[in-house]
């Protein structure tokens, strides 16, 4: 199959390293083309969220392709290879497909069953398509992964009372403050996560939701949805003097709020505490803000307790989702093998026809005296013999496609008839 995934996620690295590996949406096109320029990577999709950064690729040679992906990750993040090598995971072929299916289904997320990841998988594939870096193999894998994600949420309760990074952030803020009712909340960011934050807040009884975003129109649109108020980014420090909670979730590639900003803000708050929940990766808020008196700073790592509780609540559904993934993986394997068998069968038929015509040419002088009807009879006879000899092998290899027996049949045909085998290069 020649498919690999190389990446790291919330389970393998702390947020400090994960944020350095993140690729912001604005940088995705350039990153995709940088990947496809690597010698051993053909088709490429790059999935980068607050929980993971993963390279999906069709490879030409396994180990050099893994090295190409590793080199890309270190080059684009300026992280030394020895800092991440031990944290990386690599899957190939069936295991890579199964991993992507699990990601799309939400069972590999920090918040099990969260709904945002399916849209992020779809968007990663869309961007790769628009940049021309994905082809037939990755498109088939991602198309079916999205089907798996949809089935998991409609056929099981994994997505019932859906949790997400957004809802987790709001829930954790509520737990820290006892309640969000009557609180003033500033939401920094109006993307998918920011939208989720604002909507979750609207149902939590807060007194006011204020939205700030780099694009004022987006902030205004989201504020209207939740009957809140929009402000430009340069008014955030002033708004923080009034807010009880800051929820940050932009796609900025660097810190937006420094420690010095909060030191000035806290001087104007008259001793009132401020809760900051930063779910952006890379972070929007300088980690040093945690040292400012009166500020409580939480980040992705602080949502892990909520995630563990979510896993306990949804544990029974994970098994059901795994069954869906297994069935869909079997279907993908059969369909993919059938596509790979087709060229082998065609090559077998071509070999038979080549032998038939060569033999007729060899006996050409003996056949010159035949009239057209007799000549056609000889053609029909020899074609019939070839077709009958190849019929059973062709049917059996097609029927067994996608099974271990089918792989043996395909390998045997390729070896016995000296055909170009359909199987990709195995990992070295």
Active site residues: 50
Tokens of 315: 């544990």
What residue ranges in 129-199 does DSSP mark as E strands?
A: 184-188
Q: How many Cβ atoms sit within 10 Å of the Cβ of residue 272?
A: 12
Q: Are 128 and 46 in contact (CB under 8 A)?
A: yes
Sorted by sequence, the CB contacts under 8 Å of residue 60 that are 6+ apart come out as: 2, 39, 40, 41, 42, 425
Of 221, 217, 116, nearest in space to 169 by CA? 116
Residues 6 or more apart whose Cβ sits within 8 Å of residue 47: 7, 53, 54, 56, 103, 120, 121, 124
Q: What is the token pair recorded at 233?
A: 């980014």
410 neighbors 341 (Cβ within 8 angstroms):
yes
Among the listed residues 276, 272, 270, 277, the one whose alpha carbon sits nearest the alpha carbon of residue 294: 272
Distance separating alpha carbons of residues 217 and 365, to the nearest angstrom: 84
Instruction: Give 307's contacts (C-beta < 8 A, 6+ positions apart).
Output: 110, 111, 112, 168
Q: Residue 159 in contact with residue 119, Cβ under 8 Å?
A: no
Contact (CB, 8 A) for 67 and 74 = no
* DSSP of 336-390: HHHHHHHHHHHHHHHHHHHHHHHHHHHTHHHHTT--HHHHHHHHHHHHHHHHHHH
* Rounded Cα–Cα distance for residues 93 and 85 (Å): 21
Maximum Cα–Cα distance across the chain: 112
Write out 57-108 in H/E/C secondary structure. Answer: EEECCHHHHHHHHHHHHHHHHCCCHHHHHHHCEEEECHHHHHHHHHHHHCCC
């Amino acid at each position: 199959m020649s498919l690999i995934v190389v990446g790291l996620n919330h389970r393998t690295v702390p947020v400090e390293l994960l944020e350095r590996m993140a690729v912001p949406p604005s940088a995705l096109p350039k990153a995709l083309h940088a990947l496809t320029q690597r010698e051993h990577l053909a088709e490429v999709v790059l999935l980068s969220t607050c929980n993971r950064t993963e390279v999906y690729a069709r490879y030409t040679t396994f180990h050099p392709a893994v090295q190409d992906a590793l080199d890309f990750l270190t080059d684009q993040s300026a992280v030394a290879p020895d800092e991440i090598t031990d944290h990386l995971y690599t899957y190939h072929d069936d295991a890579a497909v199964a991993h992507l299916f699990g990601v799309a289904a939400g069972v590999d997320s920090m918040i099990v069953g969260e709904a945002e990841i399916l849209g992020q998988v779809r968007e990663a594939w869309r961007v790769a398509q628009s940049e021309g870096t994905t082809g037939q193999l990755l498109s088939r894998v991602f198309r079916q992964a999205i089907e798996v994600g949809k089935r998991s949420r409609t056929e099981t309760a994994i997505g019932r009372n859906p949790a997400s990074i957004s809802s987790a952030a709001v829930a954790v803020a509520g737990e820290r403050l006892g309640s969000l009712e009557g609180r003033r909340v500033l939401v920094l960011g109006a993307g998918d996560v920011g939208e989720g934050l604002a909507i979750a807040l609207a149902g939590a009884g807060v007194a006011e939701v204020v939205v700030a975003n780099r694009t004022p129109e987006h902030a205004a649109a989201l504020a209207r949805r939740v009957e809140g108020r929009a402000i430009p980014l340069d008014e955030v420090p002033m708004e923080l003097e009034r807010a009880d909670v800051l929820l940050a979730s932009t796609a900025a590639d660097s810190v937006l709020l420094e420690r010095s900003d909060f030191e000035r803000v806290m001087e104007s708050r008259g001793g009132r505490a401020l809760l900051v929940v930063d779910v952006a990766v890379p972070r929007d808020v300088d980690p040093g803000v945690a040292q400012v008196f009166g500020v409580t700073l939480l980040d992705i790592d602080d949502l892990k307790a909520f995630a563990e509780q979510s896993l306990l609540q949804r544990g029974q559904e994970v098994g059901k989702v795994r069954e869906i993934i297994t069935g869909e993986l079997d279907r993908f394997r059969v369909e993919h093998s059938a596509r790979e068998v087709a060229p082998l069968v065609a090559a077998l038929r071509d070999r038979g026809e080549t032998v038939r015509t060569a033999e007729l040419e060899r006996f050409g002088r003996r056949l010159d005296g035949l009239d057209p009807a007799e000549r056609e009879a000889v053609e029909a006879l020899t074609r019939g013999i070839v077709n009958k000899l190849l019929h059973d092998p062709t049917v059996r290899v097609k029927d067994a496609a996608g099974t271990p027996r089918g792989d043996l049949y395909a390998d045997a045909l390729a070896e016995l008839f000296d055909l170009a085998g359909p199987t990709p290069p195995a990992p070295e």
